[in-house]
Amino acid sequence: MMNEAKKRAVVLLSGGMDSCVCAALAARDYAPAALHISYGQRTEDRERKSFLAICQRLDIQDKLLVRNEALRAIGGSALTDENIAVPASHAIGRDIPVTYVPFRNAHFLSVAVSWAEVLGADKILIGAVEQDSSGYPDCRPAYYEAFNRVIQAGTKEGTIEIVTPLIHLRKAEIVRLGLELGAPFDLTWSCYSRQDQACGVCDSCVLRLRAFAAAGTGDPIQYATVGGAV
C-alpha cells in the first residue's frame, strides 16, 4: 500500500558505496528506478555486477543499463585510457587527479533526465560527495544548481530536479547512514583499477577504507592490500 503512494525517482547507481547509500535512500523514500551507465572504464564489468546485485538486494525492479561510447573514445582519464595509469593515492584534495573523466556526470545526468521525463519521475538522486572526495569539479553543489536550471529550461514540464543527499556529508557519515538504512555495502565496488579484488591503494579505495575506519566499522569487501592505506 505504501509503495503505491510513493513518487517515482531515478537513482544513478554506479555500484560504489555512495551511490549504494543513495539507492537505499531512494528505496526508502520513493518508487525507485535505477540507472547504470558503463563508459569503457577499467572496472566496468565489476561495477555492472555490483549494480545488478544491489538492485536485487534493495528490490529495485526498474533498471536501465546503457553504454556511453563517447567518454572512452575521448579518453583523457586514467579510468578510460589504458595509457594513463591509475595512481596510488598520495595527495587527495590537492589537484584534480588523472582519474577525473572529463564532464562525465553531465553525460550521466542527461540520460537520467531523459529517462525521468519518460517515467514521469520528478527527482533524480545522485550520490555526489564534495568533502572527502577526489575533488572532481562535477561533484560541487554549484554544478548541480546550474544543472537544475538547465533541466528547468530544457524539459517539457520543467519539474524534474536533481537531488544530492550526500553532498555535504563526510565519508564516514555516509557509512553510518548506509548502515542505518541497511545499504548492502558488501555488494559494492569502488576500486578504480582492479576487478578481482579492490586494490586498496587507489584514491577511491583509500577514501573508502578511511571512511569505514572513521565510522568505527569494518569494510565488508576484500582488499588485495590494505597496509599503509588507512
Site membership for Zn ion, residue 202 (CB under 5 A):
yes
Measured from the CB of residue 4, what is the shortest distance to Zn ion in angstroms?
A: 41
C-alpha cell read off for 29 = 523514500
Between residues 61 and 225, which has the closer beta carbon with respect to Zn ion?
A: 225
Between residues 68 and 99, which has the closer beta carbon with respect to Zn ion?
A: 99
Between residues 109 and 209, which has the closer beta carbon with respect to Zn ion?
A: 209
Measured from the CB of residue 96, what is the shortest distance to Zn ion in angstroms?
A: 18
Sign of CA dihedral 145, 11, 185, 67: negative
Measured from the CB of residue 73, what is the shortest distance to Zn ion in angstroms?
A: 24
Find the binding residues for Zn ion in span 173-192 (CB under 5 A): 191
CA atoms of 105 and 137, how far apart (whole Å): 10
Q: Which stretch binds Zn ion (CB under 5 A): 69-77, 125-133, 161-169, 196-204?
A: 196-204
DSSP letter assigned to residue 137: G
CA atoms of 206 and 191, how far apart (whole Å): 9
Site membership for Zn ion, residue 78 (CB under 5 A):
no
Site membership for Zn ion, residue 199 (CB under 5 A):
yes
42-45 contacts: CB < 8 A, separation 24 or more?
42/79, 42/80, 42/86, 42/192, 42/193, 42/195, 43/189, 43/191, 43/192, 43/193, 43/194, 43/195, 45/195
Q: Where is 81: in which H helix or E strand?
A: none
Between residues 164 and 193, which has the closer beta carbon with respect to Zn ion?
A: 193
Find the binding residues for Zn ion in span 4-63 (CB under 5 A): none
Contact 47, 189 (CB under 8 A): yes
Between residues 85 and 106, which has the closer beta carbon with respect to Zn ion?
A: 85
What is the contact surface with Zn ion in residues (CB under 5 A)?
Answer: 191, 199, 202, 205
